[in-house]
Amino acid sequence: MTKAPSATPFERAAMGRFVVGLAAFGLLLVALPYSSPLFAALFPQLDRPLYQQQTFATLVGAHLWLVAVASLMATVIGVGAGIFVTRPMGREFRGLVETLSAMGQTFPPVAVLALTVPIIGFGFWPAFVALALYGVLPISGNTISGLESVSPAAREAAEGIGMTQRQRLMQVELPLVAPIVLAGIRTSVTINIGTAAIASTVGAVSLGSPIIIGLNGNNTAYIVQGAVLVAGLAIVVDLGFNVIATRFLRWRTQ
Amino acid sequence: MIHFHDISKTFGTTTVVQNLNLTIDRGEFCVLIGPSGSGKSTILKMINRMVEHSTGEILFAGEGIRTFAPEVLRRRIGYAIQSVGLFPHWTVEDNIATVPRLLKWDAARIDARITALLRLLNLDNARFRNAYPHQLSGGQQQRVGVARALAADPDVLLMDEPFGALDPITRDSLQAEMTRIHAETGKTIVFVTHDMDEALRLATRVVVLNAGSIVQAASPRDLLSNPANDFVRAFLGKDDYGLKLLSVQLVGERMRIVDIPCGPETVRPDDSLRVALSRMLAMKANRIAVFGADGTRDGTVFLEDLVP
Amino acid sequence: MNGDVQVTRRKRDDVIKNRPLMLLAGLIVLGAVGLPFLTYAPNRLVSGQPVPLWVAGKMADLIFLVPGLFLIAGVFIDQTPQLLRALIVAAVLFLSGLLHLAALGAETLAQAGSATASRTSFGSGFWVMAVATALSLADLTARAGLSPVSRVFVGLMAAVPVAAMIFFGHLDAMSIMKEHANKADLFHQAVIRHFVIVISALIPTLLVGVPLGVLAFRSTAVGGPILTVLNIIQTVPSIALFGLLMAPLSALAVMVPALRDLGISGIGLAPAVIALTLYSILPIVRNTSEGLAQVPATVTEAAIGMGMTARQVFWQVAVPLALPVFLAGLRVTVVQAIGLAAVAALVGAGGLGSIMFQGLFSNALDLVLLGALPIIAIAVLADAIFKLVLALSRKTVP
Q: For C76-132, how does the pLDDT look when each residue is reduced to its tens digit (9 = 90+)? A: 888 888 888 888 998 999 998 888 888 888 888 877 777 777 788 888 888 889 999
Q: Do B88 and C398 touch (CB under 8 A)?
A: yes
Question: Which pLDDT belongs to residue C395?
Answer: 62
Residue A66 sits at φ, ψ, to 5 deg, of -60, -50
| Chain B interface includes C302 (CB < 8 A) | yes
**Residue A231 and residue C240 in contact, taking contact as beta carbons nearer than 8 Å:** yes
Chains touching chain C, criterion 3+ CB pairs below 8 Å: A, B
The percent of residues in chain A predicted with pLDDT above 70, rounded, is: 95
Confidence of residue C15 (pLDDT cuts 50, 70, 90): confident
What is A212-253 written as a DSSP string? Answer: HHHHHTT-HHHHHHHHHHHHHHHHHHHHHHHHHHHHHHHHHH
Nearest to A110 among C138, C342, C369 (CB): C342
Question: Which pLDDT belongs to residue B239?
Answer: 83
User: With 50 as the cut, is the pLDDT of residue B169 above it?
Assistant: yes
User: With 50 as the cut, is the pLDDT of residue A135 above it?
Assistant: yes
Question: Which pLDDT belongs to residue A43?
Answer: 81
Q: Do C396 and B50 touch (CB under 8 A)?
A: no
Q: What is the mean pLDDT of chain C?
A: 85
**Residue B211 and residue B35 in contact, taking contact as beta carbons nearer than 8 Å:** no
**Residue A68 and residue A196 in contact, taking contact as beta carbons nearer than 8 Å:** no
Distance from C-alpha of C188 to C-alpha of C291, rounded to nearest angstrom: 38
Distance from C-alpha of C393 to C-alpha of A15, rounded to nearest angstrom: 44
**What value does the mean pLDDT take over residues A108-136?**
90
Confidence of residue A111 (pLDDT cuts 50, 70, 90): very high
What's the gap in Å between the CA of A111 and the closest CA on chain C?
5
The gap from C-alpha C15 to its chain's centroid, in whole angstroms, comes to 36
Q: Which of A162-176, A187-201, B119-133, B152-166 has the lowest mean pLDDT?
A: A162-176
**Residue B98: its chain C contacts at CB < 8 A?**
303, 306, 308
Confidence of residue C280 (pLDDT cuts 50, 70, 90): very high
**Residue B264 and residue B283 in contact, taking contact as beta carbons nearer than 8 Å:** yes
Distance from C-alpha of C57 to C-alpha of B121, rounded to nearest angstrom: 73
What is C234-286 written as a DSSP string? Answer: HHS-HHHHHHHHHHHHHHHHHH-HHHHHHT-SSSSHHHHHHHHHHHHHHHHHH
Beta bridge mates, A213: none
**Which of A110, A112, A206 is best to mutate for the C interface (most C CBs within 10 A)?**
A110
**Residue A136 and residue A81 in contact, taking contact as beta carbons nearer than 8 Å:** yes
Question: Which pLDDT belongs to residue C8?
Answer: 46
**What value does the mean pLDDT take over residues B246-260?**
88
The closest alpha carbon to A130, from A184, A200, A82, belongs to: A200
> Dihedral of CA A148/A153/A154/A156: which sign?
positive
Question: Which pLDDT belongs to residue C5?
Answer: 47
Question: Which pLDDT belongs to residue C7?
Answer: 47
**Residue C299: its chain B contacts at CB < 8 A?**
85-88
**Residue A230: its chain C contacts at CB < 8 A?**
237, 239-240
Burial class (CB in 10 A: 0-12, 13-18, 19+), C174: buried
Distance from C-alpha of B299 to C-alpha of B251, rounded to nearest angstrom: 10
Confidence of residue B26 (pLDDT cuts 50, 70, 90): very high
Question: Which pLDDT belongs to residue C392?
Answer: 80
| C-alpha R_g of chain A | 22
**Which of B49, B84, B98 is best to mutate for the C interface (most C CBs within 10 A)?**
B98
User: With 60 as the cut, is the pLDDT of residue A252 above it?
Assistant: no
Q: Do C360 and A114 touch (CB under 8 A)?
A: yes
How long, in residues, is chain A?
A: 254
The closest alpha carbon to B11, from B47, B48, B41, belongs to: B41
A168 secondary structure, DSSP code: I
Question: Which pLDDT belongs to residue C1?
Answer: 44
Angle at CA A131, nearest 5°, toward A129 and A137? 105
**Residue B75: its chain C contacts at CB < 8 A?**
306-307
Confidence of residue C3 (pLDDT cuts 50, 70, 90): very low
Question: Model-level pTM?
Answer: 0.80
Question: Which pLDDT belongs to residue C13?
Answer: 58
What's the gap in Å between the CA of A51 and the closest CA on chain C?
15
Whole-angstrom CA distances from B145 to B121, B131, B168, B281 are: 10, 14, 18, 38
How long, in residues, is chain C?
A: 398
Tens of pLDDT along B45-91?
Answer: 999 898 999 999 999 998 999 998 888 888 889 999 888 888 888 89
**Residues in CB range of A63: below 8 A, 6 or more apart:** A193, A196, A197, A206, A207, A208, A230, A233
Element holding C168 (H helix, E strand): none
**Which of C236, C245, C250, C373 is best to mutate for the A interface (most A CBs within 10 A)?**
C236
Burial class (CB in 10 A: 0-12, 13-18, 19+), A166: exposed
Tens of pLDDT along C17-55?
Answer: 788 888 888 888 888 888 888 888 877 777 777 877 777
User: With 70 as the cut, is the pLDDT of residue A75 above it?
Assistant: yes
Question: Which pLDDT belongs to residue B263?
Answer: 87
| C-alpha R_g of chain C | 26
ipTM value: 0.85
**Residue A108 and residue C339 in contact, taking contact as beta carbons nearer than 8 Å:** yes
**Residue C158 and residue C134 in contact, taking contact as beta carbons nearer than 8 Å:** yes
**Residue A226: its chain C contacts at CB < 8 A?**
240, 243
Distance from C-alpha of C18 to C-alpha of C11, rounded to nearest angstrom: 14
Question: Which pLDDT belongs to residue A175?
Answer: 80
| Chain C interface includes B306 (CB < 8 A) | no
User: With 90 as the cut, is the pLDDT of residue B206 above it?
Assistant: yes
Q: Which of B210-224, B231-245, C198-212 has the lowest mean pLDDT?
A: B231-245
Q: Do C305 and B79 touch (CB under 8 A)?
A: yes
Nearest to A118 among C20, C346, C368 (CB): C368
Q: Do C396 and B88 touch (CB under 8 A)?
A: yes
What's the gap in Å between the CA of C276 and the closest CA on chain A?
14
Q: What is the mean pLDDT of chain B?
A: 91
| Chain B interface includes C311 (CB < 8 A) | no
Q: Which of A158-162, B7-11, B253-257 has the lowest mean pLDDT?
A: A158-162
Distance from C-alpha of A109 to C-alpha of A191, rounded to nearest angstrom: 8
**Residue B46: its chain C contacts at CB < 8 A?**
none
Tens of pLDDT along A6-16?
Answer: 677 878 888 89
Residue B137 sits at φ, ψ, to 5 deg, of -75, 170
The closest alpha carbon to C125, from C104, C159, C101, belongs to: C101
Question: Which pLDDT belongs to residue B118?
Answer: 93
What is the widest separation between alpha-carbon atoms in chain B?
Answer: 66
Nearest to C307 among B84, B102, B132 (CB): B102
Tens of pLDDT along B80-136?
Answer: 988 888 888 889 999 999 889 888 899 999 999 999 999 988 899 999 999 998 899
Looking from the CA of B19 toward its CB, the CA atoms found within 13 Å total: 1
Q: At what angle do helices A208-216 and A174-198 cross, to 10 degrees?
A: 30
**Residue B143 and residue B109 in contact, taking contact as beta carbons nearer than 8 Å:** no
User: With 90 as the cut, is the pLDDT of residue C203 above it?
Assistant: yes
B29-33 and B188-193: which strand pairing? parallel
**What value does the mean pLDDT take over residues C187-202?**
94
Nearest to C308 among B71, B145, B149 (CB): B71
| Chain A interface includes C343 (CB < 8 A) | yes
Question: Which pLDDT belongs to residue C371?
Answer: 92
Nearest to B102 among C299, C308, C317 (CB): C308
What's the gap in Å between the CA of B8 and the closest CA on chain C?
21
**Residue C322 and residue A80 in contact, taking contact as beta carbons nearer than 8 Å:** no
**Which of C306, C311, C314, C327 is best to mutate for the B interface (most B CBs within 10 A)?**
C306
What's the gap in Å between the CA of C302 and the closest CA on chain B?
5
What's the gap in Å between the CA of A4 and the closest CA on chain C?
30
Amino acid letter, residue C78? D
**Residue A190 and residue A71 in contact, taking contact as beta carbons nearer than 8 Å:** no
Q: Do C306 and B99 touch (CB under 8 A)?
A: yes
Q: What is the mean pLDDT of chain A?
A: 86
What's the gap in Å between the CA of B95 and the closest CA on chain C?
10
Nearest to C379 among A106, A114, A201 (CB): A106
**Residue C317: its chain B contacts at CB < 8 A?**
87
Q: Hey, how many other C-beta atoms are within 10 angstroms of the C-beta on C346?
A: 25
B266-267 and B156-160: which strand pairing? unpaired
Q: Indicate contact of B with A: 3+ CB pairs under 8 A.
A: no
C49-51 and C38-41: which strand pairing? antiparallel
Confidence of residue A67 (pLDDT cuts 50, 70, 90): very high
Q: Hey, how many other C-beta atoms are within 10 angstroms of the C-beta on B109?
A: 10
Question: Which pLDDT belongs to residue C191?
Answer: 94
The closest alpha carbon to B43, from B143, B193, B154, belongs to: B193
Nearest to C397 among B71, B73, B89 (CB): B89
Give the nearest chain C residue to B83 (CA atoms).
Answer: C298
**Residue C308: its chain B contacts at CB < 8 A?**
71, 98, 102
Looking from the CA of B304 toward its CB, the CA atoms found within 13 Å total: 1
Q: Do A99 and C339 touch (CB under 8 A)?
A: no
Question: Which pLDDT belongs to residue A235?
Answer: 93
Distance from C-alpha of B148 to C-alpha of C394, rounded to nearest angstrom: 24
Q: Do C243 and A93 touch (CB under 8 A)?
A: no
What's the gap in Å between the CA of C357 and the closest CA on chain A?
8
| Chain C interface includes B234 (CB < 8 A) | no
Q: Do C239 and A198 touch (CB under 8 A)?
A: yes
Q: Do A99 and C237 touch (CB under 8 A)?
A: no
